[in-house]
Amino acid sequence: MGIYKMTDRNFISLLDSISSDRELFVPTNDQEETSYKRWDNLGSSAVHFPKYRLNTPVKTFFFPPKESVSRFPSGDFKPERDKRAIFGLKQCDLASLEVLDQIFLDDEIIDPFYATRRQDTLLISSDCYETLDTCFCNKVEGQPFPKDGFDLNLIKLPGEEDLLVEIAGESSLGKEVYEANQELFDPAPENLLEKLSSSRRSMEEQLDENNDFFEIPEDVGNISPKHPVWRGVAEDCVECGACTMICPTCHCFQLYEQTEDSTVNRGKVWDSCSFEGYSRVAGGANPMESLESRVRNRFYDKFGRFYENHDFYGCTGCGRCIESCMGEIDMRDVLKEVSVANQS
């Protein structure tokens, strides 16, 4: 569709217009870049453009920590339909949805709960204007600005009054918003576009510099389970599962059942391969009993299994796992150690 200019005031009008027929979630700056809040409880002064990704992984909107998925014996249980919009997503958030799409929108079986939320949610992204020390999207085929996967990309370059708005070509929702609010969009001036390119370049340079100390090794799925690096990681890991809960692409869950009156509710709750019981089978046998086997599974999964099956990484380089780890495990250090040993 193209790129446009939008005044600050029109931006607020746009959010107002979107929130008139969707539940709109926006980042708030009342705490440090942490979470999304509902726009209609906030007032326009509270909304801000996050510099980098929020702490909350966007998966929580599409694949909540716990939800009901079925009833027995009636079986009739359908997803509720809520039109939503989320503003403030970064490229790594969009990339995480691409990973989850591979899992939940399979050719043969579709998760109707994920799918309806995906269909009903307008995604409004924005560029990164700063990077965190933990960001490494550049190493997993990402970049600090949205390329695709968004409906609208709203860019507010530091020091500029006006915004730039990109509308994704293939997005029917983006087009809908544009058509309903055409008067808010103006032609984009050349100088703003040039500034955008240079801002994007400088973000990329910063990421390259921050992360020049490691590479993602080839064939991570085939790194020996006996490699000493895993023992080191296991020594630091406290098995809290924070890395998997905060990870925007971790999608493991467990189904469970509960009876209320004479109806059985089946639910889905997040699970984690860091937990000891994760792969236990009948009779108590457990292929991932040792902590070592569980910590390395995370690497095999994101950089091995997922890559082999889908041709892109199952990690978006958002760095949330690094920030959240009580044992100070940094995925990048582990990958570095592994590469060095792989070469020798």
Partner 1 sequence: MQTRAELDRKNLDSLENPYSSIPAEITGIVDESPTIKTFELEPEEPMKFATGEFIQLSVPGLGEAPFTPSSSPNVTDTLEVTIMEAGEVTGKLHNMSEGDIVGIRGPYGKGYPLEEMEGRDVLVVGGGVGLAPLRSLLYMLTAQPDDFGKICLKYGARAPDHLIYKDQLDDWGSGASEIDLELTVDEGDEDWEGNVGVVTNLLEDLDMDTEKGVAVVCGPPIMMKFTTQSLLDHFESSDIYLSMEKNMSCGFGMCGHCQLGKYYVCKDGPVFTHDQVKDIPDLWE
Ligand X SMILES: Cc1cc2nc3c(=O)[nH]c(=O)nc-3n(C[C@H](O)[C@H](O)[C@H](O)COP(=O)(O)OP(=O)(O)OC[C@H]3O[C@@H](n4cnc5c(N)ncnc54)[C@H](O)[C@@H]3O)c2cc1C
Closest alpha carbon to 156 in 184, 196, 190, 124: 196
Rounded to the nearest whole angstrom, what is the least distance from the CB of residue 288 to ligand X in the complex?
11
150 binds, among partner 1, ligand X, none (CB under 5 to 8 A by kind): none
d(CA 81, CA 323): 34
Q: How far is the CB of 277 from ligand X (least distance, A)?
A: 6
Q: Among candidates 53, 33, 57, which has minimal Cα distance to 250?
A: 57
| Among 278, 299, 303, 313, contact with partner 1 (rule: CB under 8 A) | 278
Beta strand 163-167 pairing with 152-155: antiparallel
How near is the Cβ of 329 to partner 1 at its closest, in Å?
Answer: 20
Per CB under 8 A, contacts with partner 1 among 142-201 are: 149, 170-173
Query: Two tokens at 134?
Result: 């933990």
Q: How far is the CB of 1 from ligand X (least distance, A)?
A: 47
The residue within the footprint of partner 1, chosen from 64, 65, 158, 225 (CB under 8 A), is 225
Number of residues engaging partner 1 in binding (CB under 8 A): 64
| Shortest distance in whole angstroms from residue 241 CB to ligand X | 16
Q: Do the Cβ atoms of 161 and 116 come closer than 8 Å? A: no
**Among residues 30 and 256, whose Cβ is nearest to ligand X?**
256
> Rounded distance, CA 89 to CA 146, Å?
9
Q: In DSSP terms, which residues pair with 266 in a beta bridge?
A: 70, 257
> Which one of 252, 312, 336, 339 is in contact with partner 1 (CB under 8 A)?
252
Q: Is 303 in the site for partner 1 (CB under 8 A)?
A: no
Rounded distance, CA 228 to CA 248, Å? 28
Least spacing, CB of residue 73 vs ligand X, in Å: 19
Is the peptide bond preceding residue 146 cis, with omega within 30 degrees of 0? no
Binding-residue pattern over the window 259 to 298 for ligand X, x denoting contact by CB under 6 A? ------------------x--xxx----------------
Reference 49, options 182, 194, 163; nearest CA is: 163
Residue 57's binding partner among ligand X, partner 1, none (Cβ under 5 to 8 angstroms by kind) is: none
Place of tokens 């009156």: 261
> What DSSP state is assigned to residue 139?
G
In the complex, which residues of this chain contact ligand X (CB under 6 A)? 254, 256, 277, 280-282
